[in-house]
Structure 1
Amino acid sequence: MTIKNKLLLIFISLIAVFSFLSIYLVSELKAQGDVTIYAFNQPLNAIDSSRSAGDIFTKASQYADNVLSMSLPQKREHVLVKIDELSHLFTQQLNETIKNSLTEALKKESTSVLALGEQWFTNIKFRIASVGQNELISRIELENSHHVIQQRLDFLVKDTLREAALLAKQAESSVNEKLFITSILLIFISLIAIITVLIMVKRLIRPINELITAVVELSRGDGDLTKRLTINGQDEVSTLSKEFNGFIEKVHQTVTDITTSVASTKQQLDDFSTISYETQQGTLKQKNQIDNISEAMIQVNASTSTVSESSTDVKKQTEDIYQETKVSVDFVEQAVAEINLLSNNVEQTSEVIFALKNSSTEIGEVLNVIEAIADQTNLLALNAAIEAARAGEAGRGFSVVAEEVRNLAMKTQESTTNIHRTISQIQQQAEEAKLMMEAGTSSATKCVKKNADVSKALHCVLNSVEGIKVTSEIVSEQTQQQMQATEHVNGYLGEIIEIAEQTSVGSQLLDNNSKKVIISMDEVNLKVEQFKV
């Protein structure tokens, strides 16, 4: 912003502030006038309404007394209409009083008086309209109500006057307060205007003084390029200061760039010198390492040859293992078949032994029958001997026969007992043979299962051996390729050794040139240090 625009802005701001203050004062005066008018008109309206209501009530009371005392004879209908008119006017005036009441207490009091008045008018109309003496309302009660209403109307007027006086005091106090605030505001705005003018004058003069000081310092040749003029705003002085700062900034940037470039170049040359020395040393070390690598590659080549031979042996051994494992698989499969056949034979033998056990049981039953027959024969022989003894000489021959029969029965009993014992042993041995056959069958089944597992494992081994065989072939091929690669690496290492020797010579030359350039950079740096950046 130009100086001219700043001055115009100051004057326009002052005019706007005082215009705003004038508008504020006018609005406050208008508001205060409205309050003052309200403070005087509102209570007067309330008082007038209250007094009018009192006059109407007094008029209605006198009219009712005249009608009731028969001093003013009229028709009942005319009297009731007149009472209604007076009641309506009374209600209208009290409603106006309620409307213009200054406080809620006055509104409640006016409302209460209105209710009493309406009740009084209702009682008056009821008394005038009543035809029987039993229905008449006591005149004393009406007079008491009349006195209460009249008294409360008087109190209402007095309370309204008191509230009006209080409102007038509040209005006066508000006027005094507004005058005080307005005076303070005028003083405050005047001080702000004076301070604003002083600040603006100071801000206008300060850039000019700074510009003069900077030009004087540059003309004396101090060489300080770090100082800048402060730029505030967009006036003519700010524009001049901005252009002056731009010129100084360009000079400062140029000198700074030269200083930075010299320092950077010197540092880079130092780095080049260091790098060239390190490169030279590294090249020598690299040459030694390459020699070691060459020797190591020769050893690797020899080891690779050994590995190739070993891989060939492994391949042959793997082939042998593969064939032997395949034969073992065939043997196991044959053994599984034989064991399955054996298991079937054992099961058949177990069935034969079980049948033998059943047959021996049947033989035992037959022997039991024979033993019973022998017992019976023995008993018959004994009876025959007794009868022969009774017969005497005539029965001697029969006695001999009976004795032979008895001996034969005894031998039969002994034979059946021996046979029965033998059959029992045969049954026991057949049971043991059956149990052993069942155990043999179970063992044969387990053996078949184990042989199946062995066959499966041998198949896995066979597959693994086949994989090893393929891997050994791949290793053999890779070993041959590695031997060829090591021969190529040995050739490359020889070339690298020659390049390393050339690099060592170039590094030495680069180190010498870097030292010469560093001396030139030091001379340039001495020239640049004359300026303060």
Structure 2
Amino acid sequence: MNLINNIRIKNRILILVSIPVVVALFFAVLRFQQANQTLTNIEKLDAVQEYLSKVSPLISAIYQERLMSKFYIGPGEKSDIGLEFKSQFEQSQRATEKPLRNYQNFIADKNKFKGFPKLLEDIKDIEETILLYKKAQKIAQRKMRFEIDSGTGEKTAVLAVMNSIVSKLISSSQQVVLLSASNKQLSLLTNSYQSLSNAQNYLMLLIGNVYEVTAVKLSLTTYANISRQVGQEMVHLDNFANFAPESILQFYQKELGKHPSFKEAQDIYEKIRRVQPDTIGEKFDGNKNDWLATGDQLVNAYNKVVDNVIQEIESTKSDILARSKNAVTQTISVIVALIAVLVIVSYKIIVSINTPLKQMINDFAALAESKDMTLRTQINGNNELTSVAAAFNSLIESFEQTLLSVRQKMLQMDEITHKVSGSMGDSIQLIDSQKTATDSISVAINQMTATIYEVAKMSAATSEIVKRANELSVTGEKDAHCSKKTMDALFAELASTSDLINDLNQEASQISNIVQVIKGISEQTNLLALNAAIEAARAGEMGRGFAVVADEVRELSKRTHDSTDLIQGQIEMLTKGASNALSKMELLQANGSEAVTIVQRSSEAFVTIKQELEQITDMANQIAVASEEQTNVADEINQRVHEIKDESDRISQQGRETQKDTEDLKKHETALKLDIEKFHF
């Protein structure tokens, strides 16, 4: 396909037109070769047919000579039988000389038979037999049936030699029949000749045998030969009738088939075949002279029919040869005329295709050079090339409309590109602002997370202190119970009571200190919760959950502060009671019941302190949990803020790349505009 695409259109047309020319020329040459081959074959057969015209008279002459030789020789040289045929015998030998000479002269040039090796082989064999035939003629002239060569001891029988040469001549004519098979007419004619020649051969044998039975006697061998030869003659005549054309059959019926002598001969054959067996060995009842006359008439009739067949063969051969020559001439004329017509038609076709193609190529070149989209090609006619031209004009018109549309769309796109470029600049500024705000939020979240960690840390410390205070309150409660148990012994052990009261004052002071620490922690927690609320407010929507936690922490801090105030009041009452107990130690005995009451109150106060401390512990645990949750929320917020920051960075980068692509697009638009301006429309 690539090879075809590289061939010019003109050359393709030449190739396309040359194909039918070559094909037509091929078939024309093929027909010419066939006609020429037929002519060559006929010309070759001409020599073969001429051979038939030479061999046929020779066969007829030898037939007659063989018959006369048989009559003349008779029993042999010592017998007077046959002497009456001497003149006829000599005449038959003289009659054979001319056709034999003509035959030998004809076959002398062997080159004409080079194409027919089997016939040439038969001719060479016949030439050798002719030498024996001439020798046999000399032997027959001496009225001898055979002769033995004294030197070689070779026996030469006259009739055997004549039968041999007749057989070989007929065999050679059979080769003519085979060689003529390529042409139906000649094949039928040569086959009819062959059959007629064979029938004549058997006729000549029958003449001799019938003469023998009428002149001498009817032997069993002669009887058998006559019966066989009559059958063979009729078979060959039937074959002749099958092969011969109608005109020859009519001539045959006129000269031989309906001739009285033919009917007489058939009657004699029939009488001989019907003889009684007891008559074998006797002379047949018939006139030998009449039979010889009948035989002469039959021979003359056969010769006429054979001559007619030979003439018909010659005429048919000449006619076929003339037709073959005429066919060759006509074929050559047809080839020349066909080539001329095809060349003229091809030239017209090439011009009709090449001229519009050249015009279209010139129009295309002009369009490529001028870029004038208003250019149109003009090709007249109603064919594929005009359709191509119309399609080209339609395409150029479409290109023109498309370029107009492209230029309009390009202007619109240029305006849109400038708007997009401006919008991208504003977007980048907004993205940068968002990035700055995200950075601030990230810093605030980090600070809030640090504050939450501090709150969690203080909540843990508060929980530990509250645990210690709870342990001390439990100890105080136990001590109060011990004081109650030992009040009964207070009167006996006043000295030890004073120490116990001092211990109680010390423990109350420690509890007061612890309460002061808890109060400070509560105030610090309240302050931290306030700061956390402020930071949550700064975080906006993201810090709303954190603000709720900060409010809960502040509420817990307030409750812790209130509880420490209550504990402080209880501790102050406890301290005051202990001071009064110490100052009124002297009145302890007198006021023992009052001291018991005070101790009971102290025990109840320790129970209350224990309960309050447990509440403080629960609150501290809640603060720790809330702080942990707040830490998780803060970490998640911080992670999301960082993700927002990363997304903002990517959006900013994409915005800058988009802005760069927009600038490149503006450059391409400018270049495209310059390219479109090159076209005229």
Task: State the TM-score, normalized to the length of structure 1.
Answer: 0.39
The structure where helix makes up a greater share of residues is: 1
TM-score (norm 2): 0.32
Higher relative contact order (CA 8 A, sep 6+): 1
- Which structure: larger Rg? 2
